[in-house]
Structure 1
Amino acid sequence: MTRRTLSSCAILLVLLAAACGAARPSKFYQLDIPETSAASSAPRFNTDLLVGRVVAPHLYRDDRIVYRVGSTQLGTYEYHRWAEPPADTIESLLVRSLRSSGHYRSVQGLRSNARGDYILRGHLHELGEITGSTLAARVDFEVELYSQKSGTVVWSRHYNNDEPVNGKEVPAVVDALNRNVQRAIDQIVAGLADYFAKNPPQQ
């Protein structure tokens, strides 16, 4: 091996070491919506709800923030990540929001040992950045209410909306996603309350 080759190898090793030492730190984000207090201590509907696990593609069971380019291409940010996978976060937000509404005797996750009269099942189709001339934050999510007594789906709601992003950076996308998720959760909570108001649970 010539002296020139040795020198080139040494330079390459130095550059590789410098690159490793300058690795970018990851930034983590969390979806969170304000918790509302129940209007009264007495439940509005005499029934118990279970919230099932939110079904989602693999991308949304991972912690990397997803972006879409065009109609068929998806990618992920390596250094911008969720504190927990979006599917798990939405499940937790549903439980928390339905519980804090005060409408029901109890609201529990399906993975607990609690029993319920109805199961709310969710499917997260998409949650992420839409790139283009302007940025948008897309949430595509649907739920269905399954009656344990009748063995049928008695109510469903599909939410699909692109929220404008006020900025060009990932934190602005996260803010828009947070607003979009809050709107979706609010509509689901209100829709369920409307269903039970028109179809009071029979004991």
Structure 2
Amino acid sequence: MRKTLSAALLILALAACAGPAAPPDAFYRIEPGAPAQRLSKPALPGVLEVNRLAADGVVAERALAFARDGVLAHYKYDFWSEPPGMLLQDRLAHYLAEAGLADRVVTPDLRILSDWVLRGKVRRFEQIAGRSEVAVELELSVVGARDGRLVLLRTYEARVPTPSERVEDAARAMEKGATEIFARFLADLARPAK
């Protein structure tokens, strides 16, 4: 009887420790739509190389980040398909190529001699918990590859409301924020120099 009781208690204890299964991991992409404007002639003639955007700390991780009361954290089961710096580099290069900003838009892995270099930093890429919005902040610059001349250096910020606190809504809002920033960056570069 004692052995049976001990075995039953052991089984109950193990069952209590098991708990529910962890939710499956979810992965998100950034897919900005086509540019609203297509330039009739390239604002940056030649080849534009788009480097990977730098990112530090929580913003550099694949897990989606959120801020609550000024404290940054990240979700345990919700991830970007790639680290944000790499994800945004790829999408920005594609966006600028479609807009016709340069004759060719490439990334460094092609090892092509470029005329212009785009560098940047992801400063914020997070959900603001409790406020139903996201914050996207990118510092973007373009310099001449041969002479180092600064063409543009600007920090762009977008705050986009979300319909709920769900992670899926936050990911869609961050995509929208990135698209807004890409459009403003393109407009600044397309504007004739004074």
| TM more than 0.5 | yes
What TM-score do you get using the length of structure 2 for normalisation? 0.87
Q: CA deviation at 1:124?
A: 0.2
Give 1:67's aligned residue: 66
Q: Aligned equivalents of 1:188 and 1:175: distance in 2?
A: 20
- In 2, distance between residues paired with 1:187 and 1:150? 26
How big is the shift at 1:18?
A: 5.0
Question: Which residue pairs with 2:133 in the alignment?
Answer: 136
Deviation of the 1:101 alpha carbon: 1.0
Instruction: Give the alignment of 1:81-160 within 5 angstroms.
Output: 81-132=79-130, 134-160=131-157
Structure 2 match to 1:29: 28
Letter paired with 1:86: P
2:43/2:189 contact within 8 Å kept: no
C-alpha distance in structure 1 between counterparts of 2:25 and 2:176, whole Å: 23
Tell me if the contact between 1:143 and 1:158 (Cα under 8 Å) persists in the aligned partners.
yes
Question: What are the Cα deviations for residues 20-61 of structure 1, in whole angstroms up to 9, with x where unaligned?
Answer: xx2211222211111348566x64542221111110014233
Q: What is aligned with 2:17? A: 16
Size of the aligned set, in residue pairs, is 191
SS in 1 for 2:55: coil
In the alignment, structure 1 segments of 5+ residues that lack a partner are: none
Q: Percent identity?
A: 22
8 Å contact from structure 2 (residues 39, 101) kept in 1: no
Q: After TM superposition, give the deviation of residue 8 of structure 1 in Å.
A: 3.2
Residues 93-115 of structure 1: CA deviation (Å, up to 9, x unaligned): 11101111123111111232111
Partner Cα separation in structure 2 for residue 190 and residue 161 of structure 1: 15
Contact 2:143 2:150 in 1 (8 A): yes
SS in 2 for 1:156: strand
Matches within 5 A, 1:42-57: 43=42, 45-57=44-56
Q: How many angstroms apart in 1 are the aligned matches of 2:43 and 2:153?
A: 20
Is the 1:52–1:111 contact (alpha carbons within 8 Å) kept by the matching residues of 2? Answer: no
Please report the TM-score for the alignment, with normalisation by the length of structure 1. Answer: 0.83
Asked whether the equivalents of residues 137 and 164 of structure 1 are also in contact (C-alpha less than 8 Å), the reply is yes
Any stretches of 5+ residues in structure 2 without a counterpart?
none
Give the counterpart of 1:193 among 166, 175, 190.
190
For 1:161, the equivalent position in structure 2 comes to 158
